[in-house]
């Protein structure tokens, strides 16, 4: 049973669906020629901001919903010019060649970015108009037409920026493009249903079936996510299910079996066109170290081919089509 919260309260209010090319959002990247974010060749627009805080997140720069400056520790020489240039006194060096930015003090003036000669200060996230983003995406329209691809809106978590995501999906459909929404489903059904009106395929994350484990690993309960997955299936919208396989978190036979059984039930109701298993790899640790963050998984911890085959079998035994890595 979903507890009464801000997501449920949204359903008592009428949504403002009046979006346009001028609707603003914050993006971190527009990735061209993507082949792992839906069918065909696609352009994936990554929005900034996430409702969850997964311990294994491979894109920490996408968690905060606003632009932010993150240090590239590997490029830093420790010269201190960034700290000297900062008018708010937000930058200090906690260790040699390891700048720390106090986000409570940072005023996002970008003085440190301009002062650094070695690209050790990087601005992540930029405000953008939906129309400008769609103009950029539309330039590769011939590749979409030939391959069956289109626009994928990803994150972060795109439903966190509902209006901007709606403007992108609606605008893309009006321009004749195929659309995909990559989401964890932690959003009110009212909002999700409005987005689905302009969505051809959903890439749906199912992180863990156990509510307590899900909350421990992501900071959120999974009841709403699972309920929304069922509703999408009932609407008959095609879905690809994405399952992160994380050492000591989701890689047990019990966890994967429960997920596979849930997906099989969705398939019996709706249109599950495949499952993407996303095995943990240690490369994200390098990104965390670049930003000066601690990463909770050891670099050496990586699945063997035998491990991956055992994961795949949990789904293929139930008649589900599986890919590894998206």
pLDDT for the residue numbered 3 = 45
C-alpha 281/C-alpha 255 separation (Å) is: 19
C-alpha 68/C-alpha 276 separation (Å) is: 31
- Average pLDDT, integer, range 284-302: 67
Domain of 90, in residue numbers = 68-123
C-alpha 288/C-alpha 72 separation (Å) is: 10
pLDDT at residue 216 is higher than 80: yes
pLDDT for the residue numbered 181 = 98
Please state, for a pLDDT cut of 70, what percent of the chain lies above it.
90
Q: For residue 325, what pLDDT band results from cuts at 50, 70 and 90? A: confident
Q: For residue 56, what pLDDT band results from cuts at 50, 70 and 90? A: confident
Residues 58 and 83 in one domain: no
Q: Are 194 and 15 in contact (CB under 8 A)?
A: yes
What CATH code is carried by the domain that includes residue 230? 3.20.20.70
Per-residue pLDDT tens over the stretch 65-107: 999 998 888 888 989 999 999 999 999 987 766 788 898 999 9
Residues 117 and 156 in one domain: no
C-alpha 170/C-alpha 130 separation (Å) is: 10
| Crossing angle for the helix pair 223-235 and 189-196, to the nearest 10 degrees | 30
pLDDT at residue 191 is higher than 90: yes
Residues 259 and 164 in one domain: yes
Domain boundary among 123, 142, 157: 123
C-alpha 145/C-alpha 201 separation (Å) is: 16
Q: Tell me the whole-structure pTM to 2 decimals.
A: 0.89
Residues 109 and 235 in one domain: no
Which is higher by pLDDT, 326 or 196? 196
Residues 130 and 226 in one domain: yes
Residues 156 and 213 in one domain: yes
C-alpha 69/C-alpha 93 separation (Å) is: 15
Residues 100 and 174 in one domain: no
pLDDT for the residue numbered 1 = 39
Which is higher by pLDDT, 44 or 9? 44
C-alpha 144/C-alpha 106 separation (Å) is: 41
Average pLDDT, the chain: 89
Task: Calculate ∠ Cα 58-62-65, nearest 5°.
Answer: 155
- Average pLDDT, integer, range 235-259: 91
Q: For residue 13, what pLDDT band results from cuts at 50, 70 and 90? A: low
241 falls within a domain: yes
Q: For residue 168, what pLDDT band results from cuts at 50, 70 and 90? A: very high
C-alpha 300/C-alpha 320 separation (Å) is: 31
Q: For residue 282, what pLDDT band results from cuts at 50, 70 and 90? A: low
DSSP string, 3-14: PP-HHHHHTTS-
Residues 264 and 311 in one domain: yes
193 falls within a domain: yes
SS3 (DSSP) at 45: strand
C-alpha 162/C-alpha 195 separation (Å) is: 8
What CATH code is carried by the domain that includes residue 108? 3.30.70.20
Q: For residue 299, what pLDDT band results from cuts at 50, 70 and 90? A: low
Number of domains in the chain: 2
Closest CA to 27 of 155, 166, 139: 155
pLDDT for the residue numbered 262 = 97
């Amino acid at each position: 049973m979903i507890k009464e919260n801000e997501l449920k309260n949204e359903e008592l209010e009428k949504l403002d669906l009046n979006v346009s090319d001028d609707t603003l959002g914050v993006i971190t990247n527009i990735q061209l020629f993507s082949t792992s974010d839906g069918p065909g060749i696609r352009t994936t627009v990554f929005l900034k901001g996430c409702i969850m805080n997964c311990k294994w997140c491979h894109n920490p720069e996408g968690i905060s919903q606003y632009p932010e400056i993150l240090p590239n520790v590997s490029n830093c020489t420790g010269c201190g010019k960034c700290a000297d240039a900062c008018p708010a006194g937000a930058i200090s060096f906690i260790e040699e060649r390891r700048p720390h930015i106090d986000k409570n003090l940072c005023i996002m003036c970008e003085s440190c970015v301009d002062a650094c000669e070695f690209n050790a200060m990087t601005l992540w996230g930029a405000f953008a108009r939906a129309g400008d983003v769609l103009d950029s995406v539309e330039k590769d329209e011939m590749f979409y037409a030939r391959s069956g691809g289109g626009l994928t809106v990803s994150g972060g978590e795109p439903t966190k920026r509902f209006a901007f995501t709606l403007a992108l999906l609606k605008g893309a459909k009006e321009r004749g493009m195929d659309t995909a929404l990559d989401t964890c489903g932690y959003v009110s059904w009212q909002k999700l249903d409005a987005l689905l009106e302009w969505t051809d395929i959903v890439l749906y994350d199912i992180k863990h079936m156990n509510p307590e484990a899900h909350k421990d690993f992501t900071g959120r309960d999974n009841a709403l996510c699972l309920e929304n997955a069922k509703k999408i299936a009932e609407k008959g919208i095609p879905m690809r299910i994405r399952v992160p396989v994380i050492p000591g978190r989701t890689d047990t036979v019990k966890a994967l079996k429960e997920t596979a059984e849930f997906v099989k039930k969705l398939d019996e109701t709706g249109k599950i066109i495949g499952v993407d298993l996303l095995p943990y790899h240690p490369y994200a640790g390098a990104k965390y170290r670049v930003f000066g963050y601690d990463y909770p998984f050891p670099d050496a911890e990586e699945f063997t081919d035998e491990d991956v085959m055992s994961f795949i079998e949990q789904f293929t035994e139930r008649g589900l089509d599986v890919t590894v890595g998206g």
